[in-house]
Amino acid sequence: MPRTKVKVIVTRRLPEPVETRMSELFDVELNSSDTPMTLDQLAEAAGRCDVLVPTVTDKIDGRVLARAGDRLRLIAQFGAGVDNIDVQSAVSRGITVTNTPGVLTEDTADMAMALILAVPRRIVDGVQTMQAGAFTGWTPTWMLGRRIYGKRLGIIGMGRIGQAVARRAKAFGLQIHYHNRKPVRSQTAEALEATYWDSLDQMLSRMDIVSIHCPHTPATYHLLNARRLKLMKRDAYIVNTARGEVIDEAAMVRALEAGELGGAALDVFENEPAVNPRLRALSNVVLLPHMSSATLEGRIDMGEKVIINIKTFIDGHKPPDRVIPAML
How far is C-alpha 13 from the chain's CA centre? Answer: 19
Report the SS3 class of residue 255: helix
Q: Which of 19, 44, 106, 272 is catalytic?
A: 272
Closest residue by Cα to residue 297 from 103, 43, 25: 103
How far is C-alpha 237 from the chain's CA centre? Answer: 18
How many Cα atoms within 13 Å fall on the side-chain side of residue 134? 9
What is the C-alpha to C-alpha distance for residues 26 and 18, in angstroms, rounded to an integer? 12
Structural domain boundaries, residue 52: 3-103+295-327
Residue 3: pLDDT band with limits 50, 70, 90: very low
Tell me whether residue 229 is exposed, middle or buried, using C-beta atoms within 10 angstroms of its C-beta: 0 to 12, 13 to 18, 19 or more.
buried
Catalytic, 181? Answer no
Strands (E), 125-166: 152-156
Element spanning 95, H or E: none
Residues 200 and 237 occupy one common structural domain: yes
Whether the per-residue pLDDT at 270 is higher than 50: the answer is yes
What is the C-alpha to C-alpha distance for residues 140 and 168, in angstroms, rounded to an integer? 30
Residues 66 and 81 occupy one common structural domain: yes
Whether the per-residue pLDDT at 130 is higher than 60: the answer is yes
C-alpha dihedral (20, 108, 171, 162), degrees to nearest 10: -120
Instruction: Give the mean pLDDT of the chain.
Output: 95
Residues 163 and 272 occupy one common structural domain: yes
**Which of 287, 304, 319 marks a domain boundary?**
287
How many Cα atoms within 13 Å fall on the side-chain side of residue 146? 17
Q: Which of 122, 216, 243, 299 is catalytic?
A: 243
pLDDT digits (tens, 9 = 90+) for 7-19: 999 999 999 999 9
Predicted local confidence at residue 321, as pLDDT:
97
Whether the per-residue pLDDT at 1 is higher than 60: the answer is no
Total domains, the chain? 2
Catalytic, 290? Answer yes
Residues 272 and 186 occupy one common structural domain: yes
Residues 195 and 278 occupy one common structural domain: yes
Residues 18 and 119 occupy one common structural domain: no
Predicted local confidence at residue 106, as pLDDT:
97
Whether cis (ω within 30° of 0) applies to the bond prior to 17 is no
Closest residue by Cα to residue 209 from 112, 292, 293: 112
* 8 Å CB contact between 51 and 73: yes
pLDDT digits (tens, 9 = 90+) for 47-81: 999 999 999 999 999 999 998 888 999 999 999 98
Instruction: Report which DSSP code applies to 326.
Output: G
Residues 174 and 311 occupy one common structural domain: no
Residues 118 and 137 occupy one common structural domain: yes
Report the SS3 class of residue 96: strand
Report the SS3 class of residue 113: helix
Query: What's the one-letter identity of residue 41?
Result: Q
Catalytic, 272? Answer yes
This prediction's pTM: 0.89
Mean pLDDT of 205-213: 98
Mean pLDDT of 184-202: 98
Predicted local confidence at residue 315, as pLDDT:
95
Q: Could you tell me which residues come within 8 angstroms of residue 202 by beta carbon, excluding any fewer than 6 positions away? A: none
Residue 325: pLDDT band with limits 50, 70, 90: confident
Residues 218 and 232 occupy one common structural domain: yes
Predicted local confidence at residue 318, as pLDDT:
96
Predicted local confidence at residue 4, as pLDDT:
55
Mean pLDDT of 302-311: 98
Q: Which of 73, 121, 160, 290 is catalytic?
A: 290
Residues 113 and 194 occupy one common structural domain: yes
Residue 320, domain CATH: 3.40.50.720
What is the C-alpha to C-alpha distance for residues 225 and 184, in angstroms, rounded to an integer? 25
How long a stretch of residues is the chain? 328
* 8 Å CB contact between 7 and 29: yes
Mean pLDDT of 147-153: 98
pLDDT digits (tens, 9 = 90+) for 111-128: 999 999 999 999 999 999
What is the C-alpha to C-alpha distance for residues 248 and 293, in angstroms, rounded to an integer? 23
Residues 238 and 274 occupy one common structural domain: yes
Cα dist. 264→261, 288, 311 in Å?
A: 8, 11, 42
Residues 89 and 182 occupy one common structural domain: no
Whether the per-residue pLDDT at 5 is higher than 90: the answer is no
How many percent of the chain have pLDDT more than 70?
A: 98
